[in-house]
Each structure stands twice: as C-alpha cells, then as structure tokens.
Structure 1
C-alpha cells in the first residue's frame, strides 16, 4: 500500500510538471516558470492573497492558520467574512501555524503553484522543491486599493472574472456617489482609523481605500511627525491620541481590531471611550455625524468584495442620516 501511495504521488507530480508552463517575473525580480493554467494554488497569506484569488474563482488549496478540515484557527475567518458562505466550494486546508510551514502538509496538498509576499523570500529555496513560488509585493505603499487583485488576475488568466466583479462594483459605486451629502462630496477629505491597543491610521492597500477614493474623496494629509511610522505593518501605523483629537476630515472611517466583538459602532465606541475619553464631545466628525463605522475583517482585504462591503457601510450611514 505504501508503494502504491508513493507511485501515485510521483504520477501526480509528473502530470503537474507535464502541463504547459510560461515564464514570468515576480515582484522581487525573480524569473520563474509557472503552469499556464494553475489548478491547485497554495498561498502564504490568506487575507492578502487567498481571499483575492478565491473571489476570482481560483482553486486555493492551502493557507496558514487553518486546520486539516479547513476550519480557521485565527479567531476570525477572513474567507467567510469577506466572501460569505460558498456552498460546494473546496475547503482551504491548513499548512501550519502562521509563520511556521509544515512541509508535509504542503506536499500532501499537491500545489502546482505557491504564491507568497516578498516577506516569504526565505521560504523560496525550500518550497520551490514542491512547486514554483511566486512572490507578490505587499509592503506598505507598494500597492493601492485592490490593485494586487488585478495583478493576480493578470498573472493567472482571470481577467474576465475580475472585469465582471468590477462591473458590479462600479454600479454600486455610482449609486452611492450620487447620494453623498456635502461635505462628503468630492473633493472632500477622508481618514480611516484602526483601533487596536492604540489609535492607528490605515494605509492604502485595501478594498476599503479603493472604494473611498473611487467616490472622489482624498486622504486627509497629516502633519509631519504625527504618524509614528514603524514599518511593521502593511495595514496601519500609529498616531497619538492628541493627533486623533484634532482630526477633522470630511468623512472619518473607524474600525476596531479583527477579533474584537462586536464590530461596528458599539464596539468602536467602547474602544474609543478607553483610548480617548470624551471623544464624542471634542471630535468634530463625531459631533456632526460624519463617522462611518466599519467591520475591519470585511473591508481590509485587497479585494473588490472588501470595496463593496465598504460601500454597503456607507449606504447604511446614509440611511441613518436620512432617518434622523
């Protein structure tokens, strides 16, 4: 029996490498050959890579932070929260704890392409023995909005799927844009805040940012030195409570950490009460009902889906304004 399993594995590998390949250059400048039409893709970051690929219809077979049955071990399931229930879809299996690859699990999933970020460069030599490894740049400032998903669509021949997603998104975008009240109309200013154990300003790589800027809003400039840059996150950088208290963008978006419950206004308010007591009195966007409360899990992936979740949150904010 062991011999039969060995022969089956060798046969699968032979068939995988027998399929047509093409030469590409990844975002770190490496040239490699990948399958012309990958059938079993494994990702080294679920939110930045796995969710965008799944929305495009790519068969993602493995990622960090899941067990062998495909259940999330991260406290929050990014796939389900962003993309919803996917009846009949193949479960994304786990390849080990975040940052710790179980090579036996990777081999068992029989990927024909592995996609990681530039931070996974140290795994290339080992994992290239299993399947080609393509690295996509994801550092802060390297990509805007859901441009990373567009690049993945081009890489894997999913341009038609991406175009269909974009059409539906643009219809919703036009509807929301027509309803924006002054001063949130273009060329208004916005700022997005992420609450963790401190107050952070959100970067540029997410569907949320894409949606907000496609509405015609522009990022509120912050004074030099007000952002305490650490370079440790693709999503956010901390600001002081004093800087936060002085903020007066035309539209302020606020969300709390991924695993915190409840998401939305009630949870955000509880966090702000701890971080900066009295914020409802001194923060002008709060006094003037110019705050949109977001679910961080849904809006922070670089996907069309996250952009649409953001538009939906803005629609709900508009409905509440109209009701008062």
Structure 2
C-alpha cells in the first residue's frame, strides 16, 4: 500500500471516530472541481448542511440510504453504489446486483468503498449527516432535509421537493412531476376516507416483545397530520424509536385502530408478527382487537424507509386498511 493511500485511510478513520463521538458537521459548500458538461447549466442546491453545486450531470451516483435509492429507482436513474445492510423488498433487485457496489451500512457507510467508487454525486439523509464533510471531499454531496424525528409538518412536501430536485439534476423533470402528482392524488384520496371519521388510532413499534408509541409529534406524525388520522393518545415524543409503553397503556388508550410496526422483523430479517404472537388479555380488551382492526403494517415501508415514493404509497394503503370493515 502506498504512503498516500495509507495516509488517506488514516484520515478517514480519524474523521469517522471524531464524528462518531457526537460532533456535528458545520454547513459547508459541497463541490468537487470537475469540468462543466457542455450544454449542462450548473445546478446549485441549498440544504440544511450547506450548498451543493453540480457542474455536470451525474453519471455515477452513490445512495447511502434506502429512501435515496428509491428516488433514483423511481426516476430510472442507474445506481453505481448503495448501502446494502437493510434493503427493503421493493428494492430487492439491487441487493445481489454485482453491478451496484455495496457501500456498507446505512448508519455507518464504508467511506473507503465510497471513495473507490469514484462517484460524481453522493446522496445522504440525516442518518449520515455526520459524514457530510468527508463525503463532500470525495464528490458533491446532497443532503435530503427530511426530519425522521418529527414528521408532523410538511413531510410529503419535503419528499416531493427532493424528488423534483433530483428530477432537475438528472433531466427527469417530467417523470418527477408525474410521480409527485401521483403521490398527491393518493394522499387526497386517503383524506377523503379519513375525513369526518370518528375512529382514533394508535401507532406502536414492536421490538422484541416491547412496545413504543408514536404520536402526532413523531416520525409518524404525518399519518395524523397529512393523512387525517385521529390520534388515540396525546402523548408527545420526538425520538426515532418512540415512547416506551406497556400493554396497560394500549389498553387504557383503547384505540379503534391499532397500527403495529414490527422493528424486530426488520432487524432479524424475518416475517412480520401476527396477532397470535402479541396477543395478551390487555390487548384483547381494546376496541381495535375486538373489531379486528389491528393492522400489522409493512415494516420495510414504515421503519426502513418511510420518506420515499414506494414507501409512502404502501404506508397510505396500510393506513386505509384500518378503516375497512
């Protein structure tokens, strides 16, 4: 290994260790000196971590999060490399595709592999924000300004804005606009179902037998705000994994509809649980249980992603299942 290569790897390791200890990256400009592509007007995008300028249309894109991979897939943009530790079923074709380089894990991408890929655009979300400065030294890096802790306000607008931005970057404006309109139509159709309905719902995360609750100010706040679902609990929490609760809490909240997100299914890579696996006397007392309105949702869409086109369409469909029957 050359001295230059060894020095580069040591620098990456030192940077990763520093940011892993909690240091937040300051907003910086992300632009790598590359010659402008003839006929391509430079595009500058401002985001929460800084400003990203593209002098040419990207040809080798690295997606360091599953939501970003889905945006590219929906737009028909080739993916040069992506993280592959938790690939949702609707992106399964990329998992074993040798032409798509494995860039490590969602929360800890392999920066050496990213560098070796020689990308001309890197796409990240807040889950990789602490690597923004290092990634920006490799290639222009664009941050998706989605709030995974509190999606109460503007979740769908943020998703559509990012989609349209990527459409502009890749010359896919018409496709992006059509996809955004499809999502709008699906949301409006869902609201026509939920508007005026008296049912109240509770969203809980299942994790190895324990439960957490998600209310109006949480990663699933958009379900209550944008989709018009009435909350069964007024508890406030803004963490990624919700507020730990007991079966007594669920029984006392007595939701008409209970949505269950099975995190264990994602982490253990196994099928989502069913009613028999979580049934207990307290849960069986709820209106949701008595009326058969316990919905075991698509864990990939709700937990692994939740901020891309494929996931949000599935989420809307899952939400509407609670209003059937």
Q: Deviations over 1:166-196 (max 9, x none)?
A: 444455556666667xxx8546433221111
**5+ long unaligned stretches in structure 1:** 1-13, 67-72
Distance 1:105 1:116, change over 3 A: same
Partner of 2:165: 155
| 1:15 CA drift (Å) | 10
**5+ long unaligned stretches in structure 2:** 1-31
Quote the Cα distance in structure 2 between the aligned partners of 1:82 and 1:213.
Answer: 26
Quote the Cα distance in structure 2 between the aligned partners of 1:91 and 1:247.
Answer: 49
| 1:318 CA drift (Å) | 6.3
Write out aligned runs for 1:109-128 (5 A).
109-128=117-136
Distance 1:283 1:189, change over 3 A: closer
Partner of 2:205: 194
Q: Deviations over 1:8-57 (max 9, x none)?
A: xxxxxx995433533322213x23322463333213322x4322342233
Quote the Cα distance in structure 2 between the aligned partners of 1:100 and 1:84.
Answer: 20
Alignment RMSD = 3.7
When normalised by structure 1's length, the TM-score is: 0.68
Residue-pair matches, total: 276
Quote the Cα distance in structure 2 between the aligned partners of 1:82 and 1:205.
Answer: 24
Quote the Cα distance in structure 1 between the aligned partners of 2:214 and 2:60.
Answer: 33
Q: 1:191 touches 1:219 (CA, 8 Å); kept in 2?
A: yes
Matched position secondary structure for 2:68: helix
Partner of 1:131: 139
Q: Do structure 1's residue 245 and structure 2's residue 248 form an aligned pair?
A: no
Q: Deviations over 1:264-304 (max 9, x none)?
A: xxx1424423xxx2244322211122322212113442123
Matched position secondary structure for 2:139: coil
When normalised by structure 2's length, the TM-score is: 0.68
Q: 2:159 touches 2:307 (CA, 8 Å); kept in 1?
A: yes
Q: Deviations over 1:125-172 (max 9, x none)?
A: 322222012223334126654444213223221553333224444555
Structure number with greater CO (CA < 8 Å, separation at least 6) is 1
Q: Do structure 1's residue 18 and structure 2's residue 21 form an aligned pair?
A: no
Write out aligned runs for 1:166-205 (5 A).
166-169=180-183, 185-186=196-197, 188-197=199-208, 198-202=210-214
Write out aligned runs for 1:6-155 (5 A).
17-19=35-37, 20-28=41-49, 30-35=50-55, 37-46=57-66, 48-64=67-83, 66=84, 73-74=85-86, 77-78=87-88, 81-83=89-91, 92-137=100-145, 138-141=147-150, 144-155=154-165
Q: Do structure 1's residue 285 and structure 2's residue 288 form an aligned pair?
A: yes
Write out aligned runs for 1:295-314 (5 A).
295-300=298-303, 301-313=306-318
Partner of 1:219: 231
Q: 2:201 touches 2:258 (CA, 8 Å); kept in 1?
A: yes
Distance 1:104 1:306, change over 3 A: closer
